[in-house]
Amino acid sequence: MHQVTHFIDGQRTEGTSGRTKEVFNPVQGAPQATVPLADEAEVDAAIASSQAAFDGWSSMNPQRRGRILLKWVDLIYTHMDELAETLSNEHGKTFPDAKGDIQRGVEVVEFAAGAPHLLKGEFSSEVARGVDVHSLRQPLGVVTGITPFNFPAMIPLWKAGVALAAGNTFVLKPSERDPSVPVRLAELAVEAGMPAGVLNVIHGDKTAVDTLIADERIKAVGFVGSTPIAQAIYTAAATHGKRAQCFGGAKNHMVIMPDADLEQAADALIGAAYGSAGERCMAISVAVPVGEETADRLIALLEERMAKLTLGPSLDEKSDFGPVVGADAKARIEDYIGIGVDEGAELRVDGRGASVEGHPDGFWVGATLFDRVTTDMRIYTEEIFGPVLCVVRAADYEEALRLPTEHEFGNGVSIFTRDGDAARDFTQRVEVGMVGVNVPIPVPIAYYTFGGWKASGFGDLNQHGTDGLKFYTKTKTVTTRWPSGIKDGASFVMPEGS
């Protein structure tokens, strides 16, 4: 058992609250570390450190900040294997998937390093005689990110990368379930030249989060996690008069049209439903084949593939996916499978009671498939967040379109078809934030923005891309008139850029 620490003012800092939580290795099903849960005084220390670092960081020219971010990226790549192994051991996802988690985060830092260009304002000359107007974007101050367990590298990097590039300082409150990678990332940032206090990491639960939101030095709250907490944090941030972007849960559908390449669709579904044990906010948890014949063929292809899936230890190359994150997650998912059976869905493949040789206590849940799921069932309306795929058969395209459109969640959706007209109609009309056409998990790349609709996202600006920079900056608009006067003589000195 080792002790995870906070990372405050450029240093690993032991917790002082006396409250801790166990961090599990999901393959072993046993605790491997303890993480401190911060009290108000520890959160205060983290905020104070970031506040003290703000003047220096925000006044550094953005190109210099960008260089530090790029050096940080270099160091993350250098330490990729070490970071991915730590991540796998705390989360349970496979080693290549852990690398993907880090990679998708790093891409946003690479994008954010272009902040000098991205932060350019607008300019209009002669809006009235001798009057010009320009706008500029300025950092907010100390901002925070509160992040979920399922992407312990990617989501902290999405939030911190953009906020730091814009000149803010950042207090990260990562998930207490897999806290080690965020600390290591912050340590590498300091090694890259980021001044102490610019990026602090504080672990904790509701106490830490409530303290962050209430503190008047915190100017913006970025959150990702489950919907009830996202909504509560959005409300609390608004009560304290601060901006918030809070992303929540999901129930992502994949519509399979009769003309789709069904082999391709089945392969895509297997990866999207069971990869990372279904613990992705963009995982596909509902398949919607259109027409009975499409449904029957699809189910047969899925069952064929599911029989060959390997559930196993995260660091074993042969594993397609690993355990779920905790005993509570395993119990919740298995409960949902029981609920689905009670509700009358047809359980085609049952993942309950899965075991892996040599790891009797691991948090294993096997790939599960339900057919003939209907829209009134809880396994359809609620987020399960595990390796459970529900097939809802649609009679025609219009019914298939209505399902994701009318669902409470609106994170991601996908359509598999060879018909451009159907695909175009679908992308235009579906009420979901991120859409894939023959792409099962349409996570937008770094320079576009990520965000769900309806109960999957609260706030008006998405994560990363230009929205991320808007969220973590405020606009100032300057109207200027100069009285005419004596002009200075010529200057022969090259103006300094950086």
Given 160, 281, 333, 430, which residue is catalytic? Answer: 281
**For residue 480, is it left (φ>0), alpha (ψ between -120 and 50) or beta?**
beta
Which listed residue (47, 76, 140, 250) binds ligand NAD by CB under 6 A?
250
Q: Segment contacting ligand NAD (CB under 6 A): 31-39, 243-251, 344-352, 467-475?
A: 243-251
Binding mask 368-387 for ligand NAD (x = CB under 6 A): ---------------x-x--
| Cα 57 to Cα 358: distance, rounded to the nearest angstrom | 50
Q: Which amino acid is at 376?
A: D
Which listed residue (456, 464, 467, 470) binds ligand NAD by CB under 6 A?
456
DSSP output for 230-253: HHHHHHHHHHTT-EEEEE----EE
Residues in the chain: 498
Is residue 442 near ligand NAD by the rule CB under 6 A?
no
Closest to ligand NAD by CB, 98 vs 290, is 98
Is residue 202 near ligand NAD by the rule CB under 6 A?
no
| Cα 409 to Cα 32: distance, rounded to the nearest angstrom | 35
CB of 93 to ligand NAD, least distance (A): 13
Integer CA distances (angstroms), 492 to 122, 399, 434, 488, in order: 28, 71, 53, 12
CB of 150 to ligand NAD, least distance (A): 5
**Under 8 Å between Cβ of 177 and 205:** no
Which listed residue (49, 58, 89, 150) binds ligand NAD by CB under 6 A?
150
Is residue 101 near ligand NAD by the rule CB under 6 A?
no
Is residue 149 near ligand NAD by the rule CB under 6 A?
yes
Is residue 206 near ligand NAD by the rule CB under 6 A?
yes
Tokens standing for 386? Answer: 């595990």
- Concerning whether 246 is annotated as a catalytic residue, the answer is no
Closest to ligand NAD by CB, 145 vs 340, is 145
CB of 229 to ligand NAD, least distance (A): 4
> CA nearest 200: which of 223, 217, 182, 213?
182
Task: Provide the 10 A C-beta neighbour count for residue 362.
Answer: 26
Which listed residue (8, 113, 160, 229) binds ligand NAD by CB under 6 A?
229
DSSP output for 298-340: HHHHHHHHHTT--B--TT-TT-SB---S-HHHHHHHHHHHHHH
Q: Which amino acid is at 331?
A: A
Q: Which residues are catalytic?
A: 281
Residue ranges binding ligand NAD (CB under 6 A): 146-151, 173, 175-176, 205-206, 209, 224-226, 229, 247-250, 281, 383, 385, 411, 452, 456
